Structure 1
Amino acid sequence: MRQVTNTILMVRPANFRSNEQTAVNNYYQKSLDHIAPDELLSKAVGEFDAFVKKLRDVGVNVVVIEGDKNTDTPDAHFPNNWISFHEKGTVAVYPMFAENRRSERREDVFEVLEKDGFKIESIVDYTSAEDEEVFLEGTGSLLLDRVNRKAYCALSPRADEELLIEFCEDFEYTPVVFTANQTFNGERSPIYHTNVMMCLGEDFCVICLDSIDDKKERKNVLAHLREDKKEVIEISEEQVLHFAGNMLQVEGDDGKPYLVMSEAAHKSLTPLQIATIEKYCEILSSSLNTIETCGGGSARCMMAEVFLPRK
């Protein structure tokens, strides 16, 4: 089992705006109404293409899927929420909270990967849970420690505990469940995705422990991380607002590790945090200001890791 992959699937934006359907519980996104829709899309595509180029320049294999102009999918550039790819050739497809995000699911993604030489043996489809208003949004909700077979999950309207347990039984993971909160309008509210406040690397974990208000839950998360010998790099709630939790470790040329994040996340880190990360991997950051502001997600959300075996 590997924790880090060299292959990433990404979807180029074709329709882009702040998604009114996700804004109800994603407190990070804002509307840029003063910018014309065409210009907004152009900015998002520019950020996307520059980001892909940076990844490819260091040897990351990026499979780019073109967004579908004919569907109303303003968040299609966040594919990790509807699909995940696993070592034995299994693919999981997930139920989505926002109705217009459900159109992001596309079978041609499987065809592209198979043409690219990857083997898909089976698909585990959880999408019928949408009929019950039950959701689990992929590796946005699930932080997978693939080596130690643990699935960290911050419960929220987009991450249901029973469905998490079903996933863990199907894929042989141990669930590590908690609630992560943020202060919004003076009240503590659940953070919509686990990967906003936590990033799991091969040998380290970047995490906002302050967001886990329940001391027992916080202690339990820490105990699991320490048991697996992960160095814990704490970030603040203020840094989470700059997407400092929304990072992903990837492999470049010759297996060289990189921690990928946005420019805003990178700038929010302290010199000590940067030095600790750089013990394990080089930082690769790219400006994603438009995508972060309108989409309320960042670098990690844009990358669906491909762990499928080759044919």
Structure 2
Amino acid sequence: MNEQTAVNNYFQETIDVENAELNAKAQEEFDAFVAKLRQVGINVIVEQDDVLADTPDSIFPNNWVSFHENGDVAIYPMFAENRRKERREEIFVRLENEGFKIENIIDYTSAEDEGIFLEGTGSLLLDRANGKAYCALSPRADEELFIEFCEDFDYFPVVFTANQTVGGKRLPIYHTNVMMCLAENFAVICLDTIDDKKERKNVIQHLKSDGKEIIEITESQMHQFAGNMLQLKGANNTPYLIMSKAAHDSLTASQISKIEKHCEIISSSLETIETCGGGSARCMMAEVFLPKN
């Protein structure tokens, strides 16, 4: 568990188990997850962690970097100091060695000096096909920096606030991608978290105008990481919706059939990672959209 992120990630819990045992369990879950993705032809690049760095959340790479079709890479300002060590140039070298082309690196990390953060595709949900970016504002997602990102990368900004109930209070959800998942033809979203009716209506209108079927989840399903999913393509361009076993188990038969109209579901047990890390399947994947040489 990363104590530096637990201050505003209300999904994290402490488990009374030795660290070494927890680490071994998390690694088992990670390896099994990778194997399931590879089984259906999804190309997974696994980067080894730097053992000497104190980076308990490096299993969630999507927060510090995003990769774009034109060869641009964005590097993001992170709320927790120990997460800033996750940004490693050798990962870019590795991708170039794998045949990917990097043209420009747009670095937003200087915002950290002013206490301003925007945590990658945790904070940003990018509808790349329709040129829209969705962002739930929080201590880890600054509105001005979000707008700057949208101007730099040519996205239309859709801004709102999403809250969860913690100890009887409504507090901001730390990342957009735990309450919402954007897929090609549908969106899985916890609309109950958007307390402001105008903002909720605006989000619904944007999704509908882009032809996306809205599949609603409840706040309790969100707490099982049912919003933390990602659509990927496997062999023969077959689409799959990737999620954890907890997320899958929380869905109703009706929600599952709505998703399965569009694509097959792949789920894997990520219990240790979810409980200690406060993130799930989507957080563990930074999609590489870079062009290939």
TM value normalised by structure 2? 1.00
Partner of 1:162: 144
Give unmatched runs, 5+ long, in structure 1. Answer: 1-17
For residue 245 of structure 2, the aligned residue among 249, 256, 263 is 263
1:100 aligns with 2:82: yes
State the alpha-carbon separation in 1 of the partners of residues 51 and 92 from structure 2: 19
Secondary structure of the residue that 2:5 maps to in structure 1?
A: coil
- Report matched runs for 1:211-290 at 5 Å: 211-290=193-272
For residue 131 of structure 1, the aligned residue among 102, 113, 135 is 113
Counterpart code for 1:35: V
- Report matched runs for 1:154-233 at 5 Å: 154-233=136-215
State the alpha-carbon separation in 1 of the partners of residues 83 and 183 from structure 2: 28
Deviations 1:216-264 (A, max 9, x none): 0000000100110000000000000000000000001000000000000
Secondary structure of the residue that 2:274 maps to in structure 1?
A: helix
Give unmatched runs, 5+ long, in structure 2. Answer: none
Partner of 1:13: none
Q: Which runs of 4 or more aligned residues in structure 1 lie more than 6 Å from their structure 2 counterparts after TM superposition?
A: none
1:292 aligns with 2:269: no
Secondary structure of the residue that 2:46 maps to in structure 1?
A: strand
Partner of 1:3: none
Partner of 1:24: 7
Partner of 1:82: 64
Partner of 1:47: 29
For residue 68 of structure 1, the aligned residue among 50, 53, 73 is 50
Deviations 1:258-294 (A, max 9, x none): 0000000000000000000000000000000000000
Q: CA RMSD in A?
A: 0.4
TM value normalised by structure 1? 0.94
The percentage of counterpart residues that share the same residue type is 72
Deviations 1:44-73 (A, max 9, x none): 000000000000000000000001110000
Partner of 1:140: 122
Secondary structure of the residue that 1:64 maps to in structure 2?
A: coil
How many pairs are equivalent?
A: 293
State the alpha-carbon separation in 2 of the partners of residues 132 and 193 from structure 1: 20
State the alpha-carbon separation in 2 of the partners of residues 132 and 81 from structure 1: 19
